[in-house]
Amino acid sequence: MAALPIHRPSDARDSDPGQPAAPEGRCTEHLKRVPELRADRERIRNAAFSLACQLDRSRLLARHEMEAHARAILAALNLPEAYVGWTMVALGTAFWRDQVMSVPTSRRLLLLPHCLRDTGACPAEYDEFGLRCQDCGACRLTGLRELARQKGYRVLIAEGSPIVLKIILAGHVDAVMGVACLIRLDAAGKCDQARLVFLNAGDGPVPADEAAAGLQGNSITEGSARAASLHASEKEIEPLGNLHATPAFQRPLARVLARRAILTANERARQASAA
Ligand code: SF4
């Protein structure tokens, strides 16, 4: 999950236009490893927070600047370059934290992924605003929506980015928090790219890179989705438990939800590829 305040196009001139964007097609897979140890993640978060406090937060932080800062943090902590992507997320979160917190919750938008829905049981239909959840309780979207509503957030279960952009440009919200899941298929129908990120399964969003890597390069089947979700739930997440569930309960729940999300995302990617 990531959160950021919105800078509409009129603000874009502040984003260091003299610097080039990240080169298209640059391979960054080797930079996306998640620090395995919680201690390392904490060290990175603390360093990112300290650094963010020193940065000029009156203007956007360009991507190449974030990467340079992330590399400096890792070098100072003597941690591998492979954590650059994760460190950039930590830095971005720290950088925007105060600005997002200063936005009233009624002006914040929570984006949820529709791949979380139970495709077998879901009675909801899509309209121009995305999935119209009926709160039937068959999937976690009911609970997440309720929690967000209690805090005053607007909630959107979006199918794609156009509606999100429309809402932003219409001026309805000033900050967006989002959850994303991505699976991309190549021309042969094999999984080209996969990202698995768990919430409430650790001390922050927990990417399951090993499980995702196991999906890449292969056709996704019920068996491979089951294997990936089993690996992620047993080896890559660290459920902490909460008032409603123990870690022992959360782990198999994460496995089931992950398997469903993988299969749903694969089906949608297949349909998109065929369109
Ligand atoms: S809770 Fe909402 S999204 Fe989930 S299955 Fe029920 S209607 Fe569909």
The tens digit of pLDDT for each residue in 60-89 reads: 888 899 999 999 999 999 999 989 988 998
Report yes or no on 80 lying in a domain: yes
In the prediction, which pLDDT does 273 show? Answer: 61
For residues 164 and 177, what is the distance between their CA atoms, to the nearest angstrom? Answer: 11
Structural domain count of the chain = 3
pLDDT at residue 67 in the model: 93
Same domain, 96 and 56: yes
Closest residue by Cα to residue 144 from 244, 5, 38, 7 = 244
Question: What separation in Å is there between the alpha carbon of 68 and the centre of ligand 1?
Answer: 42
Same domain, 268 and 190: yes
**pLDDT of 68:** 95
Per-residue pLDDT of 34-49, as tens digits, reads 787 889 999 999 999 9
Residue having the nearest C-alpha atom to atom 2 of ligand 1: 133
- Do 110 and 90 belong together in one domain? no
The CA distances from residue 246 to 115, 131, 135, 241, 252, in Å, are: 24, 30, 24, 4, 11
pLDDT of 30 higher than 80: no
Determine the pLDDT at residue 77: 97
Pocket test for ligand 1, best of 118, 145, 156, 260 (most atoms within 8 A of CB): 118
Give the Å distance between the CA of 10 and the centre of ligand 1. 37
Q: Determine, yes or no, domain membership for 7.
A: yes
The Cα 151–Cα 271 span in angstroms is 36
* Residue 194 · residue 212 · CB < 8 Å: yes
For residues 165 and 196, state if they share a domain: no
Residues with a CB atom less than 6 Å from ligand 1:
117-118, 121-124, 131, 133-139, 141-142
My answer on whether 245 and 264 are in the same domain is: yes
* CA of 143 relative to ligand 1 center, distance in Å: 10
In a domain, 23, yes or no: no
pLDDT (0 to 100) of residue 271: 67
Q: 154 and 173 share a domain?
A: yes
Do the Cβ atoms of 130 and 163 come closer than 8 Å?
Answer: yes
Same domain, residue pair 172 and 199: no
Token pair, residue 152, equals: 């005053």
For 107-164, the pLDDT digits (tens) are 988 888 887 787 778 899 988 888 899 999 888 889 889 988 898 988 988 776 677 7
* Confidence at residue 274, expressed as pLDDT on a 0 to 100 scale: 59
| pLDDT (tens digit per residue) in 183-223 | 556 667 788 778 788 877 777 778 888 898 888 888 888 88
Quick one: 97 and 109 in the same domain? no
Q: Percentage of the chain surpassing pLDDT 90?
A: 20
Residue where a domain stops, chosen among 69, 101, 133: 101
Residue 48 placed within a domain: yes
Q: By residue range, what is the domain housing residue 78?
A: 2-11+28-101
The per-residue pLDDT for 43 is 96
Clarify whether residues 61 and 112 are in a common domain: no
Domain match, 264 and 197 both: yes
Q: Classify residue 97: in a domain, yes or no.
A: yes
Q: Is residue 161 in some structural domain?
A: yes
